[in-house]
Amino acid sequence: MSLERPAPQDVIVVGASGDLSRRKLMPALYNLAASDLLPSRGSIIGLAPGDLDDERFREFARGSIEEFSRTGFDQESWAGLSSRLTFVRLDEDGYQRLAQRARESERLIYLAVPPSAVPEIVRKLGAAGLASGTRLVVEKPFGRDLASAKELNSTIHDIFDESQVFRIDHYLGKETVQNILVFRFGNALFERVWNRDAIDHMQITVAESIGVEGRGAFYEEAGALRDIVQNHVFQVLSLLAMEPPVSLAPEAVRDEKAKVFSAMRPLAPAKTVRGQYGPGAIDGEQVPGYREEPGVAPDSATETFFAAQVEIDSWRWAGVPFYLRTGKRLPRRATEVSVVFRDVPLCFFEGTGVQDLRPNHLVLRIQPEEGINFSFVAKQPGPQVSAQQVSMDFSYRDSFMTEPAEAYERLLHDAMDGDHTLFAREDSVERGWMVVQPALENPAPVCTYSAGSWGPPEADELIAPRTWHLR
Ligand code: BG6
């Protein structure tokens, strides 16, 4: 599908001088400008407290693009963007001035602010008469538990319809996450075995080697379950487990995803593991433990690692465990799905020199080294019947000669275009919180793991007698 320019509209970034804007939004807007994918008309208005003005906001945007743009910096593309950039200081009557500055009848308003700031901003946007014609993008985390998510939804719905709301989860903007649907529903072969008859279990791992990166205060409030599992991991899970939609229309896809969330059993605290990294070494470099990070309490019990076994009570998945795992300061950055098929009923090769035969498994490498790997058993050349594990590999880079685009580019474009497919719907978000609620109310004790390890041994016990694919 080739993307088209969205209709004329203003793009307003609330929190324009913050970290998300600097690292992701300004570079994404720049790359959209470079690909001729900004709206055909309209301003890009930054809104923030502090002492920026138009000129300084442009300098800020240029600096962030030079530092973070995936395609580098090109003067001509920059000119296309910078002529549209303008700034409104967020003071007493900032929203009134914003309403005057927004000239188009439609607009995208991106709330690049901490969750606690959202309700007040939403009310002020309503009071300034900016409700109609707006598409509102709200960042994760969407709430911090079921009650707060419901409250946030209700505050937003006082001013905006659900059709105006785009809850962003940047994992849905990743090419490899979108490819889950294409892989499943574009290949007849795999869909036939994508069920409890053929699949033993699935694993989803989101491993990061970074720590909390100066976001200690935020992370203390969040932890790995709220930061990654309830949103990114659950979104990936819903795409893996959903039934075929009747079409690729946004609501058709979101309806099927919502059914997965409804069929997920609430987490059993005994089937969860919480960990926190202590000091250790990553790539040979000593790194401090979580409790020594700035902004973190010395006796913090916040988890930086979370693993769980999830059950989906549907005809397709009953009895198939889904093992989820995420952690900071693990040995490397890798997000992977591992689909492990059932073993052969009888092994003829036993005692004939077979080494380490494992059931077929399919690995979807979400990042990095984006691709897919399928492993199976083949006969080792020679007079004996002895088998060995081999694999077939697909790599995005080798096949398409390109690196996947930044998730935020696609998501910003789709939100400007009013396409909800890659955004989380109210019912799914609330149901996701319902699923994690028992683990929030009765958290498992926090176990320490060394930075640079694959998490606490309790996570291996959780999945035993199976084993984690990434280790
Ligand atoms: C964010 C989390 O949503 O996702 C961060 O708040 C995390 O803690 C990041 O580092 C990971 O994103 P990605 O795209 O690098 O996997």
Catalytic residue among 232, 361, 413, 420: 232
Pocket test for ligand 1, best of 227, 293, 337 (most atoms within 8 A of CB): 227
pLDDT higher than threshold 70 for residue 1? no
Pick from 207, 203, 184: nearest CA to 338? 203
CB-CB contact of 235 with 428 (8 Å): no
DSSP 455: S
> Residues of CATH 3.30.360.10 domain(s) within the chain?
172-463
User: pLDDT at position 386, please?
Assistant: 77
Average pLDDT over residues 379-392: 84
User: pLDDT at position 346, please?
Assistant: 78
- Euclidean distance between the first and the last CA atom of the chain, given in angstroms as a whole number: 37
User: Which amino acid residue places its CA nearest to atom 15 of ligand 1?
Assistant: 208
| Residue pointed to by tokens 């690692």 | 305
CA distance 452 to 442: 28
CA distance 261 to 282: 36
Is 232 tagged catalytic?
Answer: yes
* 17: three-class secondary structure by DSSP: coil
pLDDT higher than threshold 90 for residue 211? yes
**Residue 303 near ligand 1, beta carbon < 6 Å:** no
Please name the residues in contact with 357: beta carbons below 8 A apart, sequence gap of 6 or more.
347, 349, 377, 387, 389
Could you tell me which CATH class the domain 172-463 is placed in? alpha beta
pLDDT higher than threshold 90 for residue 295? yes
Residue 103 Cα to ligand 1 middle (Å): 34
Average pLDDT over residues 70-93: 92
Average pLDDT over residues 439-465: 97
Return the percentage of the chain with pLDDT > 70, whole number: 98
* 290: three-class secondary structure by DSSP: helix
CA distance 205 to 61: 34
Prediction pTM value: 0.94
> Residues of CATH 3.40.50.720 domain(s) within the chain?
10-139
* List of long-range contacts for 22-26, beta carbons under 8 Å, 24+ apart: 22/60, 22/63, 22/64, 22/67, 22/68, 23/64, 23/68, 24/68, 24/170, 24/406, 24/408, 25/110, 25/112, 25/408, 25/412, 26/60, 26/61, 26/64, 26/65, 26/68
* 162: three-class secondary structure by DSSP: helix
Q: Which CATH number fits domain 10-139: 2.30.30.90, 3.40.50.720, 3.40.50.1820, 3.40.50.300?
A: 3.40.50.720
**Residue 227 near ligand 1, beta carbon < 6 Å:** yes
